[in-house]
Amino acid sequence: SELDTLTATLKQLENQKGEAQKRLNDLKSQVEKLRSQVAAQEAAAAETEAELGARRAAAASLRDRERALHDELRAADLHADAATAQLRRTVLAVSQANIKITHLEEQLRLIETASEALAASTAGSVAAHAHLTLQPQFSQQHLERIVRGATPSDALEDEPFASEFSSMNGSARAADPFAAAFPPADPFAPAASTATATTTTTNQIQDGFSTDPFASSADPFAGDAFASTDNTKTNSDVSAIMYIFI
């Protein structure tokens, strides 16, 4: 009858409702799973993004460090070049100083030899030649030319001893008295000598050591060793002194 039909329909609807509820529960569980998966993926993405940011920051720091190292390397190269140039200048200065010291030692030896020779002369000879004045053998320009010939061309560009050289050499004269083998002005000639006497003396210069001053048995202190009337003997004595200084 109609009641049975309605009852059957109600049961069928209840069954459908139960199945729909099951499907709804399944869908809810699936939604929860999907939400949990999305949350996990979002967390993983955030972690990956954070790690990527850290790596980017590390890469930027490494690039900055690399640039700093390049700058330090360039500064070190410049410092090394400056140190090398300073070392080269120091070596050249030491070489110049050694050359000058050697020359000054030679000059000192010559002066000592001349002093000994003058000390061995008689008092009359010294008095007779008291008007003679000692002149430096070489001028500062001549010595600089010698140094330039023994060292590179840039050896005197940075001269560390320029202020002391004149005082050590004892002369700052511009002219070289020994520029020629026989200079026109004899620095050892008497002050009152004339040009003719100078020419005669120059032409008659002989070896001052060709005669033996001890060959005679006479008293060497009996008279003036330079009082001879023979111009050749006088010139020989002057030549001996010049030979010592030359």
pLDDT digits (tens, 9 = 90+) for 59-115: 999 999 999 999 999 999 999 999 999 999 999 999 999 999 999 999 999 999 888
pTM: predicted TM-score of the whole model, two decimal places: 0.34
Q: In the predicted model, is pLDDT for residue 7 greater than 60?
A: yes
| Other beta carbons less than 10 A from residue 235's beta carbon | 19
If we measure between CA atoms, which residue out of 143, 134, 150, 133 comes closest to residue 168?
Answer: 143
Higher pLDDT, 53 or 139: 53
pLDDT at position 125 is: 57
> Is residue 98 packed enough to be buried (19+ CB in 10 Å), middle (13-18) or exposed (0-12)?
exposed
pLDDT at position 142 is: 65
- For residues 88 and 211, is the Cβ–Cβ distance under 8 A? no
Q: In the predicted model, is pLDDT for residue 227 greater than 60?
A: no
Instruction: Quote the crossing angle between the two packed helices 195-203 and 231-245, to the nearest 10°.
Output: 80
Per-residue CA distances from 188 to 50, 95, 191, 243, 246 (Å): 98, 34, 9, 11, 12
Contacts of 66 (CB under 8 A, 6+ apart): none
- Give just the sign of the alpha carbon dihedral 14, 15, 16, 22: positive
Q: Using pLDDT thresholds of 50, 70 and 90, give the confidence band for residue 221.
A: very low
Tell me: the pLDDT tens digits for 49-66?
999 999 999 999 999 999
pLDDT at position 5 is: 85
Supply 101's token pair.
Answer: 């010291």
Higher pLDDT, 208 or 116: 116
* 3-class DSSP string for 66-86: HHHHHHHHHHHHHHHHHHHHH
pLDDT at position 28 is: 92
Q: CA 7 to CA 15: how far, in whole Å?
A: 12
Q: Using pLDDT thresholds of 50, 70 and 90, give the confidence band for residue 201.
A: very low
